[in-house]
Structures are given as C-alpha cells and as structure tokens.
Structure 1
Amino acid sequence: MPDAVVMVAMGVDAERHVDDLLDLAWATGATLAHLQGRDPSVAAELDRLRATGATSVTLVPASLGHRAPTRTWLRRIAADWSRRHPDVRVDVAGREVTGREAPLTSAAWEHVPDHARQVLVCRGPRCSARGAGETAAALDDALTVRGLGDDDVLVTQTGCLFPCNHAPVVVVHPEDTWYGRVGVPEASRIVDEHLVGGEPVTGLERPRVRGAARR
C-alpha cells in the first residue's frame, strides 16, 4: 500500500468541480492536486508529502472536461519530480514511474508559434461556471474544421480577465477585441467572421470597445 494517494485533476475544468473533487478525495482518503490552472500543483503536493515522510505515492488522474490532457503528461511531470527525488516511489494509476519517461522539454516546443492572432478564453470561476469550457471547446472545434492550427490562431485559456458580469469572456489579439457572453454559437461566429473573415463580429456583447474611455 502506498503511504499516500493523490487525486490529480487533469483539465482546466477542475475549477467547476473542485468542491466535488475535494469531497471525493476526502471520502477515499486521498488529497487533491492539479495538473494545471490551480494549486496545489502535482509537484508541490509531492514535495509536501515527501516532507511528511512519505516514501510511496500513487497519483490517480481524474480527467474532466473537453480534451483533458492524457496520462502521458502526468507521467512526464511525475518523472521529472522523481528524477530529483529518487527516494520516493511514485505510481500513476498503479504503474510505477521509472524516471526514464520523456522529459518536460522538447525541440518541438522551443519556439513561439507563428500565429497571426491569439484568442484568450477566460477560465476564471465565473466564466467557468457559465460555460467557458464549452466555449473553448467550440472555438477549438471550429478552428479545426477550418484547418487552422496554432500557427494560425493560438487559443489560450487564462485565469480571470475581470469583466465577470459578461461571462464567458473571450478576447482576440492583436485587435484587442473583447467579447462577452460567448457561448457555442457565438464562438463559431467569432471564428468565421473575425478569425477567418478578418472583421470583429457585430451584434455580440462587447465588455470594452477599443478606444472607449476607461473607468
């Protein structure tokens, strides 16, 4: 038996489910860590457990939401930590991490993509509660259908962008165009009319229009 079990929320959608995950972790005697977007990170939780004297830890991935990262990413992160702390055995879903897994770095990830535009999708607590996960998925799906990848449009899910009353919030750069209440239909319009057609979408809610006076 491992000294400790850690449930790992894999996707950025964990913000919407964190209370349920904490309840489940408590009921099963596990603690909770996050692969991305929220603390504690996997590495931080492993550090904490090691400091308490744990010599064996099992990580249990909990995949939530649209296109959550695969277990391969969790194994990479666990292996990176294990190479620095070989005194602690780490398993991912019962399979031991050897430290020989692929590293966190790769030649393919050396340079910034040559994207013409970057789309920020707010994944703060209010935007997530109002469907920002579905918005991000709809943007990804619409871009894929139109044959656009990271070298054309880089979609980035962020923390709170602040105009929470307009959730879900989406921002397109370099035009600095802000859209509010962006659901699935609105996401498709942004892709067709703005990212492909080149013009900001008319008729969508705009939390801030470029050039307007700021309070």
Structure 2
Amino acid sequence: MNDFTRSDPLSQARILVGMSVTDVDRRDDLRAWADEHAADLAFLQMGDPSLSRELTRLADEGAATITLVGVSLGPLAPGHSWLRRIAAHWWRERSGDRPEIQVAPRLATTRDHLTFHDPRPITGTEPGLTSPAWERVPDHVRQVLICRGPRCTAKGSEETARAVILGAMEAGLGDDDLLITHTGCQFPCNQAPVLSVQPDDVWYGNVEAAAARVIVREHLADGRPVEAYRLPRC
C-alpha cells in the first residue's frame, strides 16, 4: 500500500527513472506507474526530462530527500550501477544546498516489482562518468543504427532492436564485431522500421523482427547485404 502522497511536504520527493529507450517509448505507462506512487518521472537517456534536470528542479524547489527507483522494460538498458553513477555525478556537481539522494536497491522490470522501499543513500564516492576504457572509439567492424524515431517506433522498431540483439548473440557476434546504436529519425520514414549499417553504407527498410534476423545472419555475420530489404541510395 502506498502511504506517500503528493500532499506530503516537498521535502520528500520521488522519481521513477526510465533506464532504456523502450522506457521512453512507454512513457504513458511509466507516468501512470509514477502517479500510483506519488512520484515524478525522468529518463536516463533519450527522454525528457532527464534525470539531472528533474533532480535540479526538485532541489531548487526545496526537496530535502529525493528517492529514485529505476525501471527497465527493454533491451540495452544500462545496469543499476549507472543510476547511482548519474545521481552521484549530479550530487557532486550541485552547487548550493544538496538534498539527500537515495536509490532503490534494484531495477523494477514489471509494475509489481516497483517499490521505493529500503533505498540506499548516495555517498558521493560512487564511480564517476569517465574511465580509461572509454577514452577511444571502440574497435568494431560494423555499427548498426536502429531508428527509434516516432514512426519507426510506432511500426515496431522495439521488436526490430530486440531481434538484432538476440540474433547477434546467437551468431556469436561480440563487441569487436558490432556496435549497436539506437538513434532518432534516420529517414525515409515511409519505409519504417529503418536500420542502417556502417561503414557499409547499406540502408534497410520494413525491417520487422523476422527481417532483422535475416540481416544479422547474412549481412552482419557473413558480410552479404540482403537485397530483399535494401533501400536504394540517391
């Protein structure tokens, strides 16, 4: 039972944080979940408001304690540690009064798993946002750019992305082979869902899950572009 209401003093605030691109696509669902827990909504990536922006807003309005719970409903979501990293980075960079930041101990993957209980405080000693391992462009043979713009999302690019990720795993393709990236609109929207493969300069359209698996198997694993789904270049 939720005993925390929005009529409580602002000194106690809550934020539900969408971790993945899929969570941005499911904004309406997450908003309903947040409302059930008297929480605000923010996103770790590719969504507005960002977690940093929402933390700043609540702190500026006088929140003394802010509790975060991450939600992960889709593939390629950062791990739970990244929620703590981002929150700690904001806390260290914050000028003026800093609220206490608490983070739920695990990500919620379903509505029933969503809880703000037993949060753990941010101490400021969490790892930062840089690492020697992230200094250089990663070695990879190809980069797969999966469009997650509004039209592609409406036509199923979430399942396209899932099929690419699972297909790459099944084909034994690792980080040295592929860099899989979600993007905003790539055009041409009439051919949604769209994905492109670089540096091959190959664009594919109408890439539903079954087509994505063929593209992974024939193009990404064997190096042979799939003409059946290939889009002409002007």
1:31-110 alignment to 2 at 5 Å? 31-85=40-94, 87-93=98-104, 94-110=119-135
Query: 1:34–1:155: structure 2 CA closer, same or farther, 3 Å change rule?
Result: same
Cα offset, 1:205, TM superposition: 5.4
Cα offset, 1:65, TM superposition: 1.4
The match for 2:206 among 151, 173, 181 is: 181
Residue matched to 2:149: 124
After TM superposition, the score normalised by the length of structure 2 is 0.83
Cα offset, 1:112, TM superposition: 0.7
Task: Tell me which amino acid in the other structure corresponds to 2:196.
Answer: V
Q: Distance in 2 between matches of 1:192 and 1:87?
A: 51
Matched residue of 1:22: which SS?
helix
1:157-176 alignment to 2 at 5 Å? 157-176=182-201
Q: Distance in 1 between matches of 2:129 and 2:42?
A: 18
Q: Distance in 1 between matches of 2:205 and 2:84?
A: 37
The match for 1:22 among 31, 54, 60 is: 31
Q: Is the 8 A contact 2:202 2:230 kept in 1?
A: no
Q: Distance in 1 between matches of 2:182 and 2:43?
A: 15
After TM superposition, the score normalised by the length of structure 1 is 0.90
Structure 2: 5+ residue stretches without partners: 5-10, 105-118
Cα offset, 1:144, TM superposition: 2.0
Q: Which shows bigger deviation, 193-202 or 102-111?
A: 193-202
Task: Tell me which amino acid in the other structure corresponds to 2:103.
Answer: V
Matched residue of 1:13: which SS?
helix
RMSD between aligned residues? 1.7
Alpha-carbon displacement from aligned partner over 1:141-177 (angstroms, at most 9, x marks no partner): 2222222222222111111113222221110111221
Matched residue of 2:26: which SS?
helix
Identity %: 51
